[in-house]
Amino acid sequence: MQIKELLEQKPEGQQVTIKGWVRTKRGQATIAFININDGSTINNIQAVAEEGKIDQEILKKVTTGACVAIKGALVASAGSGQAVEVIADSIEIYGTADETFPMQPKKHSMEFLREKAHLRFRTNTFGAIFRIRHALAFAVHKYYNDNGFFYLHTPIITASDAEGAGEMFRVSTFEPNKAPKNEAGEVDFSQDFFGRETSLTVSGQLEGELGAMALSKIYTFGPTFRAENSNTTRHLAEFWMIEPEVAFYELEDNMNLAEDFVKYVINYALENCVDDLNFLEKRLLEEEKSKPQNERSELSLLEKLRFVVENSFERLTYTEAIDILLKSKANQKKQFQFPVKWGIDLQSEHERYLVEKHFKKPVILTNYPKEIKAFYMKQDEDGKTVRAMDVLFPGIGEIIGGSQREDDYEKLVTRVKEVGIDPENIWWYLDTRKFGSAPHAGFGLGFERLVLFVTGMGNIRDVIPFPRTPKNAEF
Ligand code: 4AD
Ligand code: MG
């Protein structure tokens, strides 16, 4: 039985076995209290080792970090803090851990834990984060399955740059210095593994659209890769993205789906991750105490999550948002680092002003200037904007980016050429607009940004088991 189950048993002196890692041991020679965790829950189970029953030599090896199996009787606990405990009859040591084990029971900085990412799973904080991450991933699949979507596996290796940002990691079997060259002296990719230039995908959207043009409602959920040199608390070079794509959806349907979907998964965590969220909420309150009064957040973690689930997101156009920013006190006092004017790509400071200061709730911005958005977005009648939508969250900024797609063949080809893509390279994508084209829309949710929001953590490196960021791929 896992510890999570054991803790829920009625204590009647029945024989049980606990297997797990020692978190702490305290007590004297006559009696020792051992706290064991196996990761099934944030809660430890306490084992009591009484003198005479357990060999002192074995008990010496029961140290923080060691892995043990303890057999004994499950009884009601005499101490406070736990309902049940195990009176040990025998202890088997699977693996010892000496005092150099880095996860000793004291406060560690997040930076320290990142350097020990292979062992940080054994802390309360990371246990909680990765159980919540799992629950959110499960909720994503449940939501789409329950709503008639099909999970489509789009490729990780691709020959097209879906976002057109040129931030791709190359996939090649060439030896770096021995790549064959053509007559013009350029690398000859026709001799490479796939017979062409290939990279890791930045998005499954283009292939997702092909699926939606037949299955109507699909979603992808896979790793995506971006070689952008952004060393921020919101960017990873390898992150997971959920991308639904729906035939016959227009922009408004897309917004409704995005809002309903994120509320569902956050609510799922609220209902299914109670112990872990309570732990993270307390942790955050402690952290807040060290901040100056004016920087502390008004809502606790759980209040913030409930607030998002219970209130409707504010919807407005990019043009309306620019007006609000222009009229803002922050702008008049020249507090924005990046000047505001129509046409700019909104910076994080602008997004956070709108979400955290002005509306104080999640915001969906739509109809951005076409110049700052990807080629595939449906053009508005005014010729200036496209049917884009970004969902902005407090403390995070952009959590979702999406749009209605251009379904007119001629308009799409013209735009593709304008942005410098050779239509030949994405002939298969353009074909969907030639044969039975349909209005359709979709979006991408950055999974780690969602986990960041739900756990209340401050750095995206702490919500993915093995973060990939510039100059960092150790574990
Ligand atoms: O806005 P983006 O670039 O949109 C797309 O990739 C579209 N193809 C999605 C679609 O319409 N199907 O990325 C979508 C989301 C962002 O809103 C953000 O949450 C996340 O992906 N994201 C990142 N998360 C972590 N690290 C990065 N470097 C990220 N870049 C984007
Ligand atoms: Mg975006």
Please write down the HEC assignment for all residues of 136-154.
Answer: HHHHHHHHHHHCCCEECCC
Gap from CA of 399 to ligand 1 centroid (Å): 8
Residue 66 near residue 95 (C-beta atoms within 8 A): yes
CA of 390 from ligand 2 middle (Å) equals: 7
Q: Is 440 in the pocket of ligand 1 (CB under 6 A)?
A: no
SS3 119: coil
3-state secondary structure of 331: helix
Whether 386 is in the pocket of ligand 1, judged by its Cβ within 6 Å, is: no
Closest ligand relative to 368 C-alpha: 2
What is the pLDDT, as a whole number, of residue 231? 92
Q: How far is the CA of 292 from the centre of ligand 2 (A)?
A: 32
CB of residue 143 inside a 6 A radius of ligand 1: no
Position in ligand 1 atom list of the atom nearest CA 449:
19
- 158 phi-psi bin (left φ>0, alpha ψ -120 to 50, beta other): beta
**How far, in Å, CA of 20 to CA of 66, rounded?**
8
| Angstrom distance (rounded) from CA 420 to CA 166 | 12
Q: DSSP 3-state assignment of 403? A: strand
Angle at 273 between CA 268 and CA 276, to 5 degrees: 150
Indicate whether residue 284 lines ligand 1 (CB < 6 A): no
CA of 390 to the centre of ligand 1 (A): 10
Beta bridge partners of 49: 32
Q: Would you say the CB of residue 239 lies under 6 angstroms from ligand 1? A: yes
Q: Which residues contact 282 (CB under 8 A, 6 or more apart)?
A: none
The CB density around residue 24, as the number of other CB atoms within 10 Å, is: 15
- Residue with the smallest CA separation from ligand 1 atom 21 is 446
**Residue whose CA is closest, atom 7 of ligand 1?**
444
From CA 25, how far away is CA 60, in angstroms rounded? 10
Question: How far apart are the C-alpha atoms of 42 and 131, rounded to whole Å?
Answer: 9
Query: How confident is the model at residue 164, as a pLDDT?
Result: 82
Ligand lying nearest the CA atom of residue 205:
1
Residue 154 Cβ inside 6 Å of ligand 1? The answer reads: no
Atom of ligand 1 nearest to the CA of 391: 17
Question: Which ligand approaches the C-alpha of residue 396 most closely?
Answer: 1
- Read off the amino acid at residue 240: W
pLDDT at residue number 418: 95
Contacts of 115 (CB under 8 A, 6+ apart): none
Residue 101: predicted pLDDT: 97
Q: Give, using CA atoms, the residue closest to atom 27 of ligand 1.
A: 235
Please compute Rg for the chain using Cα positions. 27
Ligand 1 site, residue 222, Cβ cutoff 6 A: no
Dihedral angle sign, alpha carbons of residues 374, 375, 376, 379: positive
| Ligand 2 centroid distance, CA of 241 (Å) | 12
Helical packing angle, 274-289 and 251-272, nearest 10°: 90
Ligand 1 in contact with 161 (CB < 6 A)?
no
Res 51: pLDDT: 87
Q: Which tokens in the block code for residue 94?
A: 């699977």
Residues of the chain with pLDDT under 50: none
Provide the residue type at 386 as one letter. V
Angle between helices 124-146 and 251-272 (to 10 degrees): 130
For ligand 1, whether the C-beta of 401 sits within 6 Å is: yes
Asked if residue 205 has its Cβ within 6 Å of ligand 1, the reply is yes
CA distances from 101 to 36, 56, 111 (A): 16, 21, 17
Greatest extent of the chain over all pairs of C-alpha atoms, in Å: 86
- At 330, which amino acid appears? A
Beta strands in 177-247 (DSSP E): 198-200, 217-225, 238-247
